[in-house]
Amino acid sequence: MEKENNIAKLYWLHALTPLHVGAGRGVGFIDLPVAREKVTGWPVIPGSAIKGVLADHHGATDALREPGTMLAAAFGRVGDNLANSGALIFTDARIVCLPVRSLYGTFAWVTSPMALRRLARDLSNVKPANLPPSLPELDSNSEIKVHKDSVLGSKTVFFEDLDFTAEPDDVTGDWADFLAKAVFPDKPNDPNNSEWQSIFPNHFAVVTDDVFNFLCETATEVNARVKIEDETKTVTSSALWYEENLPAETLLAGLVSCGWVANKAYTPEALLTKYCEKELALQMGGKATTGKGMVRCVFQTGHGG
C-alpha cells in the first residue's frame, strides 16, 4: 500500500517557568540533569515527551482512544488486535535560544550560527514566509552580533563574567524579526504578542558556536533540593540533591509531521489541524507541583501562521 507524503509543521516551545525534562541520574555533582543531545551536548526535549504531553492535553485516555476515533488515529492505541500506531510524529525539540542574564537589558535570548543552521534545515520542510536567506558570521569568540536596536549594550555586552564586543548586524536583525513573529505570532484582540514581538529583537544576540556550547553547560539553573520528614517537618538526613532546569524564557523547536494514517476516515491535514493548530498552554517534564514546566506551544506553518 502506497503511503501519503508527510506534511509537517514546526512547533515552538517557550518556557514560561523553569523546565526539567530529565535524563535520570547524573554522574557529576548534578544529581538530576536535563536531557541533552549526545553529539552537541545541548539541552533537548525528546519527541516522545512532546507527544505524550499533547495526547494528555487532548484527553487521549485509553477509554477515549476507541477504534475508529480521531484520537486513536492521531496518538495510537494498544491492547488488542485493533491496535495502531499514532500518525502524528514529533521530532525532538532542540534548543534555539538560551536566556542568559545580561548586565544591560536584564537578559538576552542567545543563539549561535549552528543552532540557527539546524533550525533553518527544519524550516526547509515547512517553507515559511520571510525566512532569512543567510546566517550571521562571527570572526572570534569575543564578538557578538545584535539587532540594531539592541538594549544589551552599545559597544560591549556583558553576560555574567563574560564580555563581548557588540556589532549590530542586518542579518542578525532579520533573524531576530523572523523569530519574534514565529514565537509570538499576531493574534486578534491580543496586544500581548505584539508587545513581545517588539521586545524580542532588542534582546536577541548571536555568539559563536564555542561560546554557545559553554553557555549551554553553565547557564542552566541548578537548584539545591531537600526532602522534608512528614512527621517532624525537618530535613531528612542525607536527603540533599541538586537538580538542573532550563531557565524560564528558553526557546526550543521541532517538527511535527503526519503521513500514513491507519484510519482512512481522517486525512493528515485534518489531524494536524485538529491537534497541532492552536497555541497551547502545557505542563511538561517533572516537578509540576512546584510550578515547573509551564510552556507555550506554538505551531508554525508555511505561511508564518
The confidence score (pLDDT) of residue 26 equals 65
* Mean local confidence (pLDDT), 233-261: 87
Residue 4's pLDDT band (boundaries 50, 70, 90)? very low
Residue 13's pLDDT band (boundaries 50, 70, 90)? very high
Report domain extents, the chain.
7-21+35-219+246-300
Q: Mean pLDDT lowest for which of 73-82, 108-117, 142-151, 281-290? A: 73-82
DSSP notation for the chain: -PPPPPEEEEEEEEESS-B--B-SS-SSS-SBPBPB-TTT--BEE-HHHHHHHHHHHTT--TTT--TT-HHHHHHEE-SSTT-EE-SEEE--EEEEEEEEEBSSSSEEEEE-HHHHHHHHHHHTTT--TT--SS----SSTTEEEE-TT-SS-SSEEEETTEEEEEEE-HHHHHHHHHHHHHHS---TT-HHHHHHHHHHHHTEEE--HHHHHHHHHHSSEEEEEEEE-TTT-SEEEEEEEEEEEBPTT-EEEEEEEE---SSTTS-HHHHHHHHSSS-EEEE-SS-GGGT--EEEEEEE-TT--
Q: Mean pLDDT lowest for which of 46-50, 64-68, 157-161, 275-279? A: 64-68
Q: What is the pTM of this model?
A: 0.90
The confidence score (pLDDT) of residue 132 equals 95
Residue 12's pLDDT band (boundaries 50, 70, 90)? very high
Mind listing the pLDDT tens digit for each residue in 97-109?
999 999 999 999 9
The confidence score (pLDDT) of residue 77 equals 83
The confidence score (pLDDT) of residue 304 equals 42
Mind listing the pLDDT tens digit for each residue in 14-59?
999 999 998 777 667 788 889 999 999 999 999 999 999 999 999 9
- Of all residues in the chain, what percent carry a pLDDT higher than 90? 65
Mind listing the pLDDT tens digit for each residue in 215-233?
999 999 998 877 787 777 7
